[in-house]
Structure formats: structure tokens, C-alpha cells
């Protein structure tokens, strides 16, 4: 069964100080038999995000079919610079999604600052990953319902699916907006099981967020009572479809 990690990082987080290198990421992927990962910068400023985007692209060239990029530019960045870097990630680097880090960049999905992300995602037919959970109130899962309703053509992925504390809220948002997908990293096993049961195995994907989480996030789906077909959907079928991956 192939496994795709839909939430990986390289670089240094300005929030936590945690640093993840390319070699560390690839080593953990190989150790845990992960076939591919979607990789994005940690929350950083504009210049650093540009540098990390380039690193992700170079890593993808060295590991074709294993590494795919997700752009993450601070929405507070000047609009011209934001659009330039985000479109470069898509057109030149072949990145597969955009990320709005509500907690890391202190921005609500309801903010006009995020409109440029929605318009770019709509233009290129790409999904948007939205951080949820830590960093409330700007990272409440329910806040994604408004853009998901305004932009029904865009797939919105709730990163961390509420981060344990707001899992129920994430499920309510997904139940009301069919273009919302749940990525329950950091959530309890029973909550992941409820998401698959209540929202559907076709709308849940696996992500790790941090290197040491990866084996535990994989194990999570082997500890809950789901079928092999449901497990394969979470690990592989759904992310392949949602992110348009050639794996």
C-alpha cells in the first residue's frame, strides 16, 4: 500500500525554532516506507519562504515522484510580491497547492488578505491547505466555511482538522461544506475514526507535520477499526486525486 504524507516541512520555524533539513526529511520517509510527501516552508517571513521554496523545488528534482511542493507565503506580504512568488512556485516549480498558515502568520481565513490566495488557487485549479487548531481565534475550523462557500470550486484542506481540541468543529465544517477535506495530524485516534465514519474515507488524508510524528500518524490508521480500502484511501487514493499527483 503506497503512503503519501500530505503535510511535511523543511526549514526553520520562526514560531518554535524547530529546524528540518532535506536529509532528515528523506531519511524519515525512507525509514517509514513513505512513497511521497507534500512539502512546504514552516512559518517564516517573505524572503525566507522564497529560499525554502527553491530548496523544495531542488529536492523535488533530485527525488522525482517523491517530493511535491506547497507554497506558503505570508499573506501580509505586499500583493505584487505575494502573487509573484506564489505563481512562480506554481508555474516554474510545479507546486501542487497553497498554504495559509493562520497561526504562523496571524491571519484569519476571513481576512481580505487571503483573497489573493483564493483567486490564485481558483485560477490554477489547486487546493488550499489551511492551518486549524493552535492559534485561535484566527485558526478556528469554522472560519474556513465562508471561503469554502464563496469558492465552491476550490478544495480546502483543514490542516490538523482542529488540532484535537476543535475536531468536532472541523467535522461540522466538513459536513456542511463538501469541498472541505480533513487532515487530522495531532488528533486522537478515536477522532480520526469518527472523521472517517461521519465525513467519509474519501475526505480524510494523512499528514505528519513534524518528523517524529510520521510513524505515529501512520500507526494511527492501523490502530482504528477501518477497512483496508478506507486505509488506502486515506494514505494514497485521496491525496493522489486531491493534489493531482503523478504517483
**51 belongs to a structural domain:** yes
- CATH number of the domain where residue 122 is located: 3.20.20.140
Q: What is the pLDDT of residue 17?
A: 85
pLDDT mean over 215-229: 98
- For residue range 65-82, what is the model confidence (pLDDT) as tens digits? 999 999 999 999 999 999
- For residue range 150-170, what is the model confidence (pLDDT) as tens digits? 999 999 999 999 999 999 999
- For residue range 176-220, what is the model confidence (pLDDT) as tens digits? 999 999 999 999 999 999 999 999 999 999 999 999 999 999 999
**116 belongs to a structural domain:** yes
**183 belongs to a structural domain:** yes
**247 belongs to a structural domain:** no
Q: How many helices (H) and strands (E) does the chain have?
A: 10, 8
Number of domains the chain is built from: 1
- For residue range 1-27, what is the model confidence (pLDDT) as tens digits? 999 999 999 999 888 888 999 999 999
**31 belongs to a structural domain:** yes
**122 belongs to a structural domain:** yes
**126 belongs to a structural domain:** yes
CA distance 201 to 6: 15
Find the length of the chain.
247
- Helical packing angle, 214-223 and 189-198, nearest 10°: 60
Q: Which domain holds residue 164?
A: 4-242
Burial class (CB in 10 A: 0-12, 13-18, 19+), 219: exposed
**48 belongs to a structural domain:** yes
pLDDT mean over 125-149: 98
Amino acid at each position: 500500500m503506497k503512503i503519501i504524507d500530505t503535510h511535511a516541512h523543511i526549514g526553520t520555524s520562526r514560531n518554535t525554532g524547530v529546524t528540518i533539513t532535506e536529509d532528515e526529511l528523506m531519511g524519515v520517509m525512507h525509514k517509514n516506507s513513505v512513497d511521497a510527501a507534500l512539502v512546504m516552508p514552516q512559518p517564516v517571513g517573505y524572503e525566507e519562504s522564497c529560499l525554502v521554496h527553491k530548496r523544495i523545488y531542488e529536492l523535488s528534482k533530485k527525488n522525482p515522484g517523491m517530493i511535491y511542493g506547497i507554497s506558503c507565503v505570508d499573506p501580509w506580504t505586499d500583493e505584487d510580491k505575494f502573487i509573484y512568488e506564489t505563481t512562480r512556485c506554481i508555474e516554474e516549480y510545479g507546486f501542487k497547492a497553497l498554504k495559509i498558515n493562520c497561526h504562523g502568520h496571524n491571519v484569519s481565513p476571513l481576512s481580505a488578505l487571503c483573497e489573493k490566495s483564493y483567486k490564485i488557487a481558483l485560477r490554477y485549479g489547486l487546493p488550499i491547505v489551511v492551518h486549524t487548531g493552535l492559534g485561535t481565534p484566527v485558526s478556528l475550523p469554522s472560519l474556513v466555511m465562508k471561503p469554502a462557500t464563496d469558492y465552491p470550486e476550490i478544495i480546502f484542506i483543514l490542516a490538523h482538522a482542529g488540532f484535537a481540541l476543535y475536531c468536532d468543529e472541523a467535522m461540522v465544517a466538513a459536513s456542511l461544506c463538501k469541498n472541505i477535506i480533513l487532515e487530522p495530524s495531532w488528533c486522537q485516534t478515536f477522532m480520526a475514526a469518527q472523521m472517517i465514519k461521519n465525513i467519509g474515507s474519501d475526505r480524510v488524508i494523512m499528514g505528519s507535520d513534524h518528523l517524529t510524528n510520521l510513524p505515529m500518524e501512520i500507526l494511527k490508521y492501523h490502530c482504528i477499526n477501518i477497512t483496508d480500502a478506507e486505509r488506502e484511501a486515506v494514505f494514497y487514493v485521496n491525496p493522489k486525486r486531491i493534489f493531482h499527483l503523478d504517483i
